[in-house]
Amino acid sequence: MITSHWILGPGAIGRLLAHSLAPLANLCVVSRRPLPIQQILTTPEGEQKVQRLDILTVEKLAEQAPVAPDAVHITTKAMAAEAALASLAERLPATTPLVLWQNGFLSQPRITRTWAGPVLCATTTQGAYLTGDDGVVHAGHGPTFIGDLNNRHGALATLLAQQLTQAGFETTAVVDIHQRLWQKLAVNAAINPLVALHGIRNGELRNASYQGQANAVIKEVAAIMQAEGIQPPGGGQGETGWLALVWQVVENTAGNKASMLQDLEAGRPTERKAILGPLMQSAAQHGLTCKNLEQLDDQLASEEGAIHQRVL
């Protein structure tokens, strides 16, 4: 039985998870800065639900020294996951199960290697965004998949999937989470950097001025996926399959402002290291060139550098 959860990182998915699990389990949201405990969830149907959530800063948590939880969900951005875990690690028994909700493939293999307890990874297409310190909008339902990279914790993944599903987070325990994380990473790599750098909505990638560049990026990603032995989901094969998939996601999310664009606009670092990093590393290992991905990474790095200069 999983009766208590800590959620580390009160971003959109973290808060949605907290609202969903709060009626079923003891819950604590751990935040870097104080947030109102009265939190508002707007459902996909537009209904507003107000819930008091136990939200504590890391410092308050240390003062209150609560009993360690049955599971810790890390819902920070990819590049903050390891530091977030480090800020809590000494309060957690080394056997505490972790669930990593990050995009890309950076913190997942590292934390799996270094944490003694079970490390599960989750990938979700739930749509959510924040409306301030006390509000999250659940924009749309989407499936969630959970599993561990070495397939050693299937029973725990099943237990968590059942509880998450009961909480309204439709979740399936899977044995191929590695493949699913890379499939999502491929789609994110093909869309996010381009729309972020051009400052456009996803659907604008279909414009003639961006289409060629997008296709060139997708082809590089497809070659790397081929080398990694990862096919697109839904039965597509190779380059044609990846092209079809990415353009379908562009169509389905045409009005979206991608997360990387939101990050740049908000002056935050992007998830480029977690999304483009593993692809460039894989290309190097397999002797593939990926000039487009490297160029996007360089451009994002200089945008982030410029932001850093402005905030100093």
Residues designated as active site: 184
When the beta carbons of 156 and 245 are compared against ligand KPL, the nearer one is: 245
What is the smallest separation between the CB atom of 275 and ligand KPL, expressed in angstroms?
A: 9
Q: Which residues does 257 contact at the CB level (< 8 Å), separation at least 6?
A: 195, 201, 202, 265
Residue closer to ligand KPL by CB (options 35, 225) is 225
Q: What is the CA radius of gyration of the chain?
A: 19
Interface contacts to ligand KPL, rule CB under 6 A:
187-188, 191-192, 202, 249, 253, 256, 258-259
Q: How far is the CB of 292 from ligand KPL (least distance, A)?
A: 17
Q: Which residues is 135 bridged to in the sheet?
A: 40, 132
Instruction: Give the Cα separation of 228 and 285 in Å (integer).
Output: 10
Q: Which residues contact 308 (CB under 8 A, 6 or more apart)?
A: none
Nearer to ligand KPL, 158 or 248 (CB): 248
The CA distances from residue 47 to 22, 39, 41, 65, 165, in Å, are 18, 14, 8, 36, 20
Do 9 and 75 form a contact (C-beta atoms < 8 A)?
yes
Nearer Cβ to ligand KPL (57/215): 215
State the nearest-atom distance from the C-beta of 202 to ligand KPL, in Å. 5
User: By C-beta, is 163 or 259 nearer to ligand KPL?
Assistant: 259
Q: Decide whether 5 or 184 has the Cβ nearer to ligand KPL.
A: 184
Q: CB-based contacts of 211: which residues, under 8 Å, 6+ apart?
A: 205
